[in-house]
């Protein structure tokens, strides 16, 4: 039986939807919520197959609910009910990955038809706002189990993913790794999520390596832009933030071909003097007869110009608007340029076009070269877009790529502190002020910690936090996996969630304590349950300490150090 969650602050709509869908011949189970905050609690605590939501609601509206689901519950299709339909709202909802919309007041038969379409063939909706490589990385971080139907220029292929790992692929007569390489090289693919089909694992290559190899094969087959053409080479150098090399290449092009509009356009993006920028854009506009992309660039310049200071500016790494060197936020696209308190206090309203372009650009750069600047801004693009898990994954990779850059470690710690302090519904609790300086790395201790936690995000936050302190971390998502890893690689300490699927933390703790060799291993319970009874039950079962979620990473580390 499919479960549908109906979210609306209008009791009449909730009653109408409940009666209509429960009376349907398909026999849906219907849950209701009156705002996005209550809806998230239901989604996080029980299986939901489809969400039917209004947009305007108290406490947490439909837009905030969609943003949260787009980053954490990609496999649940969403149908939006709205009485304020417009092409702009439709485009915004499409970027947020909405399966369909229905205008209120609606006919029951029309609603049933849209729900039937969402469930037809196990389709969970078309994915918007992601390139295929970026979506695969998001699926890997969230450890999803799905099949992706990918189509491009009349071709159709399937990527089969189990717990975040790409295990098989097929397209026409090709299977396995060869099929995956072909699909990943298709231009402008459309991505549709479906339930995982029964597959045997044929692909064992790590996803990142597969993405890099596919990108290299695509570049070699068509000739990577810039390998032969100085203009395209200059454009790539500008995108990769190699501004000195880009300046040399584009200057040479303009000396030989002074009427090259594209060269003037990109030259305007790598120079720092406002008057020279305006002049270069003017040349591009004359040569292209005011092409839309040039007019858009001129408009950004005019809007940014009043805030510019002095004879030198820098460029927004996301929308290319000129900004004053002291700014921490772009005044045009409103994207934050670094991980700082303002980002968490007032997350920006994401410009989907800017976000998609920036993510695609920096993904292309990091596939071509080891570029820490591109990795940093790719991380920030995802963070500005509210893709928390993907941003955390990329920041962690960035710190490993450039451990000497203390500012990266500091910003990762800010992100970890914020994500660890969020309530289960995604809202942030009151946080203590972050430290004023970069984090001090702790020497590796050689101690092994088993982290048992069913939430991929929480598990990742804990693993990175402890990894930064020099601990070796073993991860398990449920009791069965935890007990297997406990015997394979005995840990020095166990960090154990209580609420787990199948077997709860108390049962796991009881099994651990009954084994002689693990009797003295410290076990710290980590859970969202708070109260004297829960703590007493944990102590009685043999726990060493007890921490509640959301947690303070510093307190977590201090507690572990105390018991080791």
Q: Looking at residue 438, what is its pLDDT?
A: 40
Residues 333/318, Cβ–Cβ less than 8 Å? yes
User: Is the model's pLDDT at 128 over the cut of 80?
Assistant: no
Residue 90 banded pLDDT, cuts 50, 70, 90: low
Q: What pLDDT, on the 0 to 100 scale, is given for residue 441?
A: 44
pLDDT of 85 over the 80 cut: no
Please tell me the predicted confidence (pLDDT) of residue 444.
Answer: 44
Q: What is the pLDDT of residue 429?
A: 47
Predicted confidence band of residue 273 (pLDDT cuts 50, 70, 90): very high
* Residues 237, 212 within the same domain: no
150: phi then psi, degrees, rounded to nearest 5: -115, 130
Q: Are residues 496 and 559 in the same domain?
A: yes
Which SS3 state, helix, strand or coil, does residue 516 take?
helix
**Residue at a domain's end among 161, 196, 218:** 218
Reading the block at residue 265, the tokens are 């356009």
For residue 530, the 8-state DSSP code is -
Q: What angle do CA 212, 214, 219 make, to 5 degrees?
A: 95
Which long-range contacts link 42-46 to residues 24+ away (Cβ below 8 Å)?
42/5, 43/5, 43/69, 43/73, 43/76, 44/424, 44/425, 46/3
φ/ψ bin of 154: left (φ > 0), alpha (ψ from -120 to 50), beta (otherwise)? left
Residue 177 lies in a domain: yes
Residue located via tokens 């999520």: 193
* CB proximity list for 522: less than 8 A, separation 6 or greater: 492, 493, 494, 544, 545, 563, 564
Burial 190-220 (b: 16+ CB within 10 A, else e): ebbbbebeebeebbeeebeebbebbbeebbe
User: Could you tell me what percentage of the chain is helix, strand and coil, using 3-state DSSP and rounding each to the nearest 5?
Assistant: 50, 15, 35
> What is the pLDDT at residue 536?
62
- Whether residue 223 lies inside any domain: the answer is no
Strand partners, 174: 171
Cβ–Cβ < 8 Å for 144, 131 = no
Residues in contact with 40: Cβ distance below 8 Å, sequence separation at least 6, in sequence order: 60, 65, 68, 424, 425, 426
How much is the average pLDDT of 265-274?
A: 93
Tell me: do 140 and 214 sit in the same domain. Answer: yes
pLDDT value of residue 271: 93
| Cβ atoms of residues 92 and 115 within 8 Å | no
101 with 154, same domain: the answer is: no
Residue 371, in any domain of the structure: no
Euclidean distance between CA atoms 201 and 47, whole angstroms: 26
Residue of higher predicted confidence among 123 and 16: 16
Query: Does residue 366 form part of some domain?
Result: no
Is-contact 138 130, C-beta < 8 A?
yes
Instruction: Check if the beta carbon of residue 109 is closer than 8 Å to that of residue 179.
Output: no
Same domain? 189 vs 269: no
- Closest by alpha carbon to 318, among 348, 345, 292, 344? 348
Same domain membership, residue 136 and residue 238: no
Q: How, if at all, do strands 165-171 and 174-175 pair? A: antiparallel
Percent of the residues in the chain that have a pLDDT greater than 90, as a whole number: 21
Q: Does any domain span residue 420?
A: no
Q: Is residue 145 part of a domain?
A: yes
pLDDT of residue 564: 86
On whether both 106 and 163 belong to a single domain, the answer is no
23: tokens are 């009376």
- Mean pLDDT estimate for the chain: 81
The neighbour count for residue 310, using CB atoms within 10 Å, is: 10
Do residue 559 and residue 455 come from a single domain?
yes
- Give the pLDDT of residue 6: 92
**Region 232-246: what's the mean pLDDT?**
92
Q: For residue 401, with 0-12 CB atoms within 10 Å meaning exposed, 13-18 middle and 19 or more buried, which class applies? A: middle
pTM for this model (two decimals): 0.58
9 Cβ contact list (under 8 Å, min separation 6): 34, 35, 54, 56, 57, 58
Angle separating helix axes 388-401 and 456-468, nearest 10 degrees: 20
CA 23 to each of CA 12, 64, 98, 101: distance values in angstroms, whole numbers, following the listed order: 16, 30, 25, 22
Determine, yes or no, domain membership for 435: no
Which of 33-42, 414-423, 487-496, 549-558 bottoms out in mean pLDDT, i.e. has the lowest? 414-423
Q: Which residues contact 327 (CB under 8 A, 6 or more apart)?
A: 307, 337
- Judge contact between 527 and 548, C-beta under 8 A: yes
Mean pLDDT, residues 529-538: 59
Token couple for 334: 């409103």
* Domain identity same for 173 and 277: no
Query: Reading across the β-sheet that carries 472-476, which strands appear in turn?
Result: 472-476, 448-452, 493-497, 523-527, 545-548
Q: Which residue has the higher pLDDT, 215 or 432?
A: 215
174 φ, ψ (degrees, to nearest 5): -85, 145
Distance CA(120)–CA(504), nearest Å, equals 35
**Distance in angstroms (rounded) separating the CA atoms of residues 165 and 178:** 16
At residue 69, the pLDDT reads 76
Helix (H) or strand (E) holding 377: helix 372-384
DSSP state of 42: H
| Same-domain check for residues 108 and 207 | no
Count of structural domains, the chain:
4
More confident residue, 89 or 109: 109
Residue that is written with structure tokens 């509640």 in the block: 548
CA-to-CA distance for 114 and 557, rounded, in angstroms? 49
How do residues 325-342 score in pLDDT, each as one tens digit? 888 888 899 899 998 877
> Is a pLDDT exceeding 80 seen at residue 98?
no
pLDDT the model gives residue 302 = 93
Q: Is 55 helix (H, G, I), strand (E, B) or coil?
A: coil
Q: Let me know if residue 413 belongs to a domain.
A: no
Question: Which of 162, 185, 218 represents a domain boundary (last residue)?
Answer: 218
Residues 8, 115 within the same domain: yes
Q: Which domain holds residue 462?
A: 448-563
> Domain with 326 in it: what CATH number?
1.25.40
Give the model's pLDDT for residue 243. 93
pLDDT at 308 over 80: yes
Tokens coding 71: 């980053």
Please identify, among 120, 140, 166, the residue that sits at the C-terminal boundary of a domain.
Answer: 120
**Looking at residue 487, which CATH number applies to its domain?**
3.40.50.2300
Residues in a beta bridge with 32: 6
pLDDT at res. 304 = 92
Q: Is 42 exposed, middle or buried (0-12, 13-18, 19+ CB in 10 A)?
A: middle
Do 97 and 78 form a contact (C-beta atoms < 8 A)?
Answer: yes
Same domain, yes or no: 179 and 269: no
Going by pLDDT thresholds of 50, 70 and 90, the confidence category of residue 443 is very low
């Amino acid at each position: 039986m499919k479960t549908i969650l109906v979210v609306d602050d209008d009791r009449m709509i909730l009653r109408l939807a409940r009666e209509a869908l429960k009376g349907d011949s398909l026999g849906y189970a219907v849950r209701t919520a009156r705002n996005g905050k209550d809806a998230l609690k239901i989604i996080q605590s029980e299986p939901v197959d489809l969400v039917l939501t209004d947009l305007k609601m108290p406490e947490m509206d439909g837009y905030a609910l969609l943003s949260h689901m787009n980053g954490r519950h990609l496999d649940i299709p969403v149908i939006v009910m709205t009485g304020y339909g417009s092409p702009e709202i439709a485009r915004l909802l499409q970027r947020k990955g909405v399966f369909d919309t229905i205008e209120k007041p609606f006919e029951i038969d029309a609603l049933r038809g849209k729900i039937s379409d969402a469930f037809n063939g196990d389709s969970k909706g078309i994915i918007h706002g992601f390139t295929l490589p970026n979506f695969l990385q998001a699926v890997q971080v969230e450890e999803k189990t799905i099949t992706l139907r990918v189509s491009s220029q009349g071709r159709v292929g399937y990527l089969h993913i189990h717990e975040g790992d790409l295990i098989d692929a097929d397209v026409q007569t090709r299977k396995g790794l060869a099929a995956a390489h072909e699909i990943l090289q298709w231009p402008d693919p459309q991505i549709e999520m479906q339930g995982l089909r029964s597959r045997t694992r044929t692909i064992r290559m790590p996803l990142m390596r597969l993405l890099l190899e596919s990108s290299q094969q695509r570049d070699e087959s068509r000739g990577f832009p810039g390998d032969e053409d100085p203009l395209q080479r200059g454009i790539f150098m500008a995108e990769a933030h190699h501004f000195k090399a880009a300046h040399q290449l584009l200057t040479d092009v303009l000396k030989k071909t002074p009427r090259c509009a594209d060269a003037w356009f990109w030259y305007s993006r790598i120079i720092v003097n406002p008057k020279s920028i305006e002049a270069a854009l003017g040349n591009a506009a004359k040569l292209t007869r005011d092409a839309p992309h040039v007019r858009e660039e001129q408009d950004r310049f005019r809007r940014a110009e009043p805030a510019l200071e002095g004879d030198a500016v820098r460029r927004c790494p996301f929308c290319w608007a000129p900004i004053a060197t002291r700014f921490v936020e772009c005044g045009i696209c409103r994207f934050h340029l670094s991980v700082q308190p303002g980002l968490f206090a007032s997350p920006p309203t994401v410009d989907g076009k800017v976000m998609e372009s920036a993510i695609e650009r920096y993904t292309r750069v990091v596939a071509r070269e080891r570029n820490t600047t591109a990795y940093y801004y790719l991380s920030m693009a995802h963070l500005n877009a509210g893709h928390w898990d993907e941003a955390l994954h990329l920041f962690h990779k960035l710190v490993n790529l450039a451990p000497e850059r203390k500012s990266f470690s500091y910003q990762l710690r800010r992100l970890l502190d914020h994500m660890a302090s969020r309530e289960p519904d995604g809202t942030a609790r009151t946080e203590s002020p972050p430290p004023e300086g970069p984090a001090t790395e702790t020497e590796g201790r050689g101690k092994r910690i088993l982290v048992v936690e069913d939430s991929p995000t929480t598990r990742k936050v804990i693993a990175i936090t402890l990894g930064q302190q020099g601990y070796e971390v073993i991860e398990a998502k449920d009791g069965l996996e935890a007990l297997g890893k406990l015997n394979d690689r005995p840990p020095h300490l166990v960090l154990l969630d209580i609420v787990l699927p199948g077997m709860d933390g108390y049962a796991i703790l009881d099994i651990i304590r009954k084994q002689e060799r693990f009797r003295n291993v410290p076990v710290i319970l980590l859970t969202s349950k708070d109260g004297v009874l829960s703590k007493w039950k944990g102590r009685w079962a043999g726990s060493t300490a007890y921490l509640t979620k959301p947690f303070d990473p510093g307190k977590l580390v201090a507690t572990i150090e105390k018991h080791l």
